[in-house]
Structure 1
Amino acid sequence: MKQAFERNLGRYADLIVEVGLNLQKGQELMISAPITSYEFVRLITEKAYEAGALNVLTDFYDDELKKIRLEKSAEEGLKEFPGWKAKGYIEMAENNVALLNLAAPNPSLLRDSDPARVAMLNKTSAEAMKDFSAYIGGGKISWLIAAIPTVEWAQTVFPDLSQEDAFTKLWENIFYTTRTDQENTVELWEAHIDNLNENADRLNKGKYKKLHYKGPGTDLSIEFHPKTKWISAQFTNDKGIPFVPNLPTEEVFSIPDKYGVNGVVSSTKPLNYSGTLIKNFSLTFKEGKVIDYTAEEGYETLKNLLETDEGASYLGEVALVPHDSPISNTNIVFNNTLFDENASCHIALGRALSVCVEGGKTMTPEELQEIGFNESMIHVDFMIGSSQLDIDGEKADGTIEPIFKAGDWV
């Protein structure tokens, strides 16, 4: 058992370095990770140097310290962010440093924290890192989000198991959904990316001006500008190097016309937003903006999220994910957007992605605004797909074509 785990763990590390980051010889790597993941960070570091990394830097953090700060800090302290850190990340981006974010969430960490103070801290961080976020959203540098389990996270996913069994089972499912439980992991991922790119090409050839969503609690239309395009989660950085910013990934996605979203949409999985779960929520859109919302749990957190800035109440991404996919077929709610969004069609509040615009990387903010590009300090995906979701595409001449039926590609 231990031997199999170590073998899969090595494949996972190889996948992160070789496919996700596609780390190049002579390139530097920055790893942002929780202190609990130090052993895996050591393995990644070893793999990175074997791939020719010039240097591997680490930025460790502890979510418990964040919780203490929220509880004990003066309000003025929650409005402060270290300028040297924001400038440092910009400097790294300018020097083509690859960025790995190892996510190890505790979905209930801030369940009892004051939502207003949490929102204040989140907004402070988002404002300070806004310029760096443009490097991420534009795919200018290689970056990757991958997961590492924690006991706390595992027990929210498998509450009926012991801590040890829950932790082991979560690792097993991470290996399964990332295909690292199979010998030819890298080859499988190359074929998978090819398949995603074919789906994106099909949508681009369809030239749909609008998508219509119908499902339980959902009746939504989303419009698109002709200059936007559908892509898979395989980006190409400014150096011409391809990388895959999410592991796992099952989506093809685009950006909507900021003002072309109308109707109501209901969530199908919980949203873990900064340590708080938002469950069973719905949003009503008019001319792109959220004008009404409900939530059975996490209402105040949702309210604060939507009020982060003007763009937070508009959409910045539309993603299609088949219900019949490895993550969805586990029938597990991971309480982690990285996994849950890749088990379900989803949309995102906030900042749009310039990689989804033809020539978007070189367009001015004014030119992007002309095509309905949404700007915001945040980008938050939430899940709306299920086996009961139908999606139709409408062309410029009014022709309607089915795209998704009962949650899967037609």
Structure 2
Amino acid sequence: MDPRIREHAAVIANHSVDLQEGDTVVVDAHPVAEDLVVALFEEIGDAGAKPLWTVKRAGKRTSRAHLKAAGEDFETPEHELALIEETDVYIAVRAGPNATETSDVPPATNTAYQQAYRPIMEERLGKRWCLTQYPSPGNAQLAEMSTEGYENFVWDAVNKDWDDQREHQEQLVDLLNPADEVHIVSGEETDVTMSIAGNAAINDHGKFNLPGGEVFTAPVVDSVEGTVRFDMPLYHQGREVTDAFLEFENGEVVSHEAEKNEAVLTEVLETDDGARRLGELGIGMNRDIDVFTYNMLFDEKMGDTVHMAVGRAYDETVGDENEANDSSVHVDMIVDMSEDSFIEVDGETIQENGTFVFE
């Protein structure tokens, strides 16, 4: 076994989920990631915890078969909810032989399923959890990399000094937490302002998403004004959406377009009322992620980027006096900030062309 796999498992167990004796642990992973599952089971055994391996999350062929057969008629699967209710730790491993397996599932079917599945998602988010990636050939192909090149990319981004990364990112947290307004400009089409007053900036240093490498917060729901051109592709429900464009007034998307698969973007925005508002503003800070891979777990952490998510806001980012945007979706989209761009906080430039004032 590649020693980097055991290092990956150790980071998950000891840093991301803080594994404890007696914990009940669900590891949700495709069989292609078996080596990482084996290494995780070693860590779980050493801790005196109790593991269960499932393939629900990454079983794309089975998910496709179920979704295409079921249409749009879904109820929350109570037996799966019961499993998560009895679980202390949930570890999800992304991997698979075909990253586009669900590309022919109708968007409306995916939306209906997400709405039915939401109670399970909410329950999972209340546990100690980690979402990570195993470098499978299918994901390497999507990233247009060799298998070995993708392995190096994944483990360079994952197996790092997370205490050092946390300290680096805390400098941005200190700038955002007391702030009222953020102004983001990139190129000729992205010029957007939003209030973050009273909301918290969260330092993502590998505790939940692994790799980590971002600072994120929530906009005040009705404060977003302006336009954004997301010039990096979005890969959603097995489909590529390119050059998505959103215009905001009073916090709500009032017009949108995309060069490719605009219907997918429309379906996301029409999911529910909250899907037309931003639930997250995130700023990428992981310099070991330096190429775009069509995998949001990595791409949103890339240095020289910001991302914004329509839909659900994370509870920990929303202050007690503010409203949390509510939705059954949370869809991230990315803006390249490496050239002709800046971020201002309360009128002061904190980043220009991807470089922070503290770098």
TM-score in terms of structure 2 length: 0.90
| Aligned residue among 338, 341, 349 for 1:402 | 349
Deviation at 1:327, TM superposition (A): 0.5
Is 2:28 the partner of 1:65?
A: no
Q: 1:133 matched to which residue of 2?
A: 121
SS, match of residue 22 in structure 1: coil
C-alpha distance after superposition, 1:95-118 (max 9, x if no partner): xx111110126443333x15xx33
Q: Which residue of 1 aligns with 2:249?
A: 286
Native 8 Å contact 2:95 2:134 kept in 1: yes
**Candidates 83, 89, 92, aligned match of 1:88:** 83
Q: Give the Cα–Cα distance (whole angstroms) in 1 for the partners of residues 71 and 211 of structure 2.
A: 38
Does residue 1:229 correspond to 2:180, yes or no?
A: no
Counterpart pick for 1:337 among 266, 275, 296: 296
Does the 8 Å contact 2:90/2:129 carry over to 1?
yes
Quick one: which of 282, 285, 288 aligns to 1:326?
288
Task: Verify the 8 A CA contact 1:312 1:351 in the aligned structure 2.
Answer: yes
Partner in structure 1 of residue 107 of structure 2: 118
Change (3 A) 1:74 1:357: closer
Match of 1:100 in 2: 91
User: Counterpart of 1:171 in 2: which secondary structure?
Assistant: helix
- CA deviation after TM superposition for structure 1 residue 392, in Å: 0.7
Please state whether the residue corresponding to 1:249 is helix, strand or coil.
Answer: coil
1:381 is displaced (CA, Å) by: 1.5
CA distance in 2, matches of 1:302, 1:142: 31
- One-letter amino acid of the structure 2 residue matched with residue 153 of structure 1: N
1:40 matched to 2:31? The reply is no
Deviation of 1:74 after TM superposition, in Å, equals: 4.8
DSSP-derived class of the 2:246 partner: strand
Q: Which residue of 2 aligns with 1:392?
A: 344
Mapped contact 1:314–1:374 kept (Cα < 8 A): yes
Q: Is the 1:256–1:372 contact (alpha carbons within 8 Å) kept by the matching residues of 2?
A: no
Give me the whole-angstrom Cα distance separating, in 1, the residues matched to 2:157 and 2:70.
42
Task: Report the Cα distance in structure 2 between the residues aligned to 1:339 and 1:251, rounded to whole angstroms.
Answer: 10
Superimposed CA distance per residue, residues 200-254 of structure 1 (whole angstroms, 9 cap, x where no aligned partner): 12322xx22111111122011111232x1112015xxxxxxxx700111111111
Take 1:210 and 1:136, find their aligned partners in 2: how far apart are those partners? 32
Letter in 1 for 2:155: F
Structure 2 gaps, min length 5: none
8 A contact 1:119–1:305 mirrored in 2: no
Aligned-partner SS, 2:256: strand
SS in 1 for 2:55: strand
Structure 1 residues 305 and 409: alpha-carbon distance in aligned structure 2, compared to 1, 3 A threshold: same
Contact persistence 1:318–1:347 (CA under 8 A): yes
Q: Which amino acid aligns with 1:218?
A: T
Match of 1:383 among 328, 334, 358: 334
Taking the TM superposition and a 5 Å limit, the aligned residue runs for 1:202-241 are: 202-204=175-177, 207-216=178-187, 217-226=189-198, 228-233=199-204
- Aligned partner of 1:200 in structure 2 is 173
CA distance in 1 between counterparts of 2:288 and 2:78 reads 41
Who is 1:347 aligned against? 308
Distance in 2 of aligned mates of 1:391 and 1:38: 42
Cα deviations by residue, 1:84-136 (Å, 9 ceiling, x for unpaired): 212332x235xxx111110126443333x15xx3332x333322332343345
Structure 1: 5+ residue stretches without partners: 160-165, 235-242, 361-369, 395-399
- TM-score (norm. length: structure 1): 0.80
Give a deviation string over 1:337-392, Cα, whole Å, max 9, x none.
Answer: 0000001211111111111235x5xxxxxxxxx61310111112221132023111
Structure 2 CA distance, aligned partners of 1:229 and 1:315? Answer: 15
**Cα deviation digits, residues 308-356 of structure 1 (max 9, x gap):** 111111111111224x81202xxx2111000000012111111111112
For residue 275 of structure 1, report the CA deviation from its aligned partner: 1.6
Higher helix share: 1
1:52 and 2:11 correspond: no
**Pairwise CA distance, 1:197:** 2.5
* Contact 1:80 1:124 survives alignment (8 Å): no
Deviation of the 1:67 alpha carbon = 2.5
* 1:129-175 deviation digits (Å, cap 9, x = unpaired): 323433455xx42111100133222112126xxxxxx2221111101
Q: Percent identity?
A: 25
Preserved contact between residue 225 and residue 372 of structure 1 (Cα < 8 Å): no
Summarize the Cα distance change of 1:201–1:144 in structure 2 as closer, same or farther, 3 Å threshold. Answer: same
Instruction: Work out whether residues 181 and 197 of structure 2, in 8 Å CA contact, stay in contact via their aligned partners in 1.
Output: no
